[in-house]
Chains A and B, each alone.
Chain A
């Protein structure tokens, strides 16, 4: 279970699509980096990416790990952001939406799981398909 220190450290990572843009190879990546994952350069610029993107793969997972196992299933997807990076996220607000590859959507903040009474409530990003826009 995540303690207060980890929850504090990760709140920026989990609530904004923050990452890096490499000044050497132009690679973009989400999450904290001290060197470019592609070329190893330390010449990085911290970047907050726009929340719009498209779903490029998804799965319905029926066997969840602790502490998420109170849910019967979850949908996860690989999302390609308009700004370039990809990220893996839970898909939310999908009821009545028929998920499809290239489905556009947007990052939203939601509670990640229901914690025990003595734990920190953890919020983070999920991906919400946009049912108004046709698949790209």
Chain B
């Protein structure tokens, strides 16, 4: 395998893009990534997407976006792994370049959720385990709420303590130009928000949104060609776990997240304490807490203490939600994995403005699908540092 770098990034703002169709939205991000890299041609386009067939009645998404982006003729395909679809597409694109099958691959995360009525979107998100969940009417949020309740009860965690994940996400998203929410949320807002599925309120749940984010992958040798500062993709590893929470021997342990995190850091030859940024999958507060525990930064049952970490014995903990996380930025499910990577690249390039974390040399993005039934961990490193 040869080294792979990200040479260009580009994305649309996350939000309700009612005036733009699915393919045009994706093509806009692809063209932005190509412009950032300073090139016009690629060998392949890999699209990460979860719901285009259900919500937009559009499949064969690779060819569809390639034509719209002016890349007709290139190999183009779609990859799906629920909310981790974007990260799974990155894994495929990384493999194409690392294995020398291609020299330049553009990876696009794309989702258009606001074209369909909300109850249909909710049903579609439950398709992560359709034969059981959709028949019973179980929603993704209801499952996360059950997991939250279990977490609060088993670890005797006060309900209000999970608010900190939301408040910090919204505080950072106000300084991120592509985020959906540009207004900070107060603790009072959080307390007064309507319940979606107890104990989860409106601000605990990620917003359905439209969005497209793209990165251009090239081999290490091609990074000398110019364009923006290349960011090394040191490793990307995917793992899976049981789709059904109740089939897991321990519902409060994200085993796929743990295995992919450990394997990715091992492959990148990085120690967890060296990581400066960790884009944890914070779709729900309990998922962020369990993600931090799976990464080994906190002991079992202590992940919720991230914002009170001085009070507990834990490793050097990286900054999370560095540009607002999934909650503050919005969560266009199949695109979020690539938005996370762009967040980290922006930080590593030193272009994050008010949100800039210093030092920022090594960043990790972890994308989870189906309450961690799929987990992808990407290690990104600024070159010529350390």
Contact = CB atoms under 8 A, between A and B. Distances in A.
Contact of A89 (B120, B136, B244, B251): B136
A119 interface: no
Contact of B146 (A13, A64, A69, A77): A77
Contacts of B125: 65
A136 interface: no
Interface string B130-159: 011011111101110111111001000000
B246 A87 contact: yes
B137 A85 contact: no
A88 B137 contact: no
A129 interface: no
B146 A59 contact: yes
Contact of B122 (A59, A63, A77, A88): A63
B196 A29 contact: no
A10 B197 contact: no
B126 interface: yes
Contacts of B251: 78, 86
A57 interface: yes
A27 B242 CA distance: 14
Contacts of B145: 59, 61
Given A63-B122, A63-B197, A10 B131 contact: yes
Contacts of A31: 132, 244, 247
Contacts of B245: 78, 88
B271 interface: no
Contacts of B117: 66
Nearest to A79: B246
B119 A66 contact: yes
A112 B137 contact: yes
A31 B171 CA distance: 43
Given A31-B132, A66-B119, A124-B135, A76 B146 contact: yes
Nearest to A80: B246
Contact of B196 (A14, A63, A86): A63
Given A38-B249, A66-B123, A78 B146 contact: yes
A36 B143 CA distance: 23
Contact of A62 (B138, B196, B247): B196
B195 interface: yes
A64 B119 contact: yes
Contact of B138 (A37, A56, A88): A88
Nearest to A113: B137
Interface residues of B, number: 40
A135 interface: no
A4 B148 CA distance: 36
Contacts of B242: 37
Nearest to A86: B246
A16 interface: no
B247 A29 contact: yes
Given A31-B244, A76-B146, A60 B135 contact: no
A14 B142 CA distance: 19
Given A10-B131, A59-B198, A88-B245, A65 B139 contact: yes
Contact of B139 (A10, A29, A64, A86): A64
Contacts of A45: none
Contacts of B122: 63-66
Contacts of A56: 150, 153
B224 to A, nearest CB: 46
Nearest to A60: B198
B83 to A, nearest CB: 16
Contacts of A50: none
B138 to A, nearest CB: 6
A17 to B, nearest CB: 12
Contacts of A2: 135
Contacts of A64: 119, 122, 137, 139
Residue of A10, A61, A113 ringed by the most chain B CB atoms within 10 A: A61
Given A63-B141, A78-B245, A88-B143, 12 more contacts: A31-B247, A58-B146, A59-B146, A59-B198, A59-B200, A60-B195, A61-B139, A61-B142, A61-B145, A76-B136, A88-B146, A112-B135
Interface of A: 2, 6, 10, 13-14, 27, 29-31, 37-38, 56-69, 74, 76-78, 85-90, 101, 112-113, 122, 124
18 contacts: A6-B131, A29-B247, A30-B246, A37-B247, A38-B249, A59-B146, A59-B149, A60-B198, A63-B122, A63-B197, A64-B137, A66-B122, A76-B138, A78-B150, A88-B143, A89-B136, A90-B136, A112-B137
Interface of B: 117-120, 122-123, 125-126, 131-132, 134-139, 141-143, 145-150, 153, 194-200, 242, 244-247, 249, 251
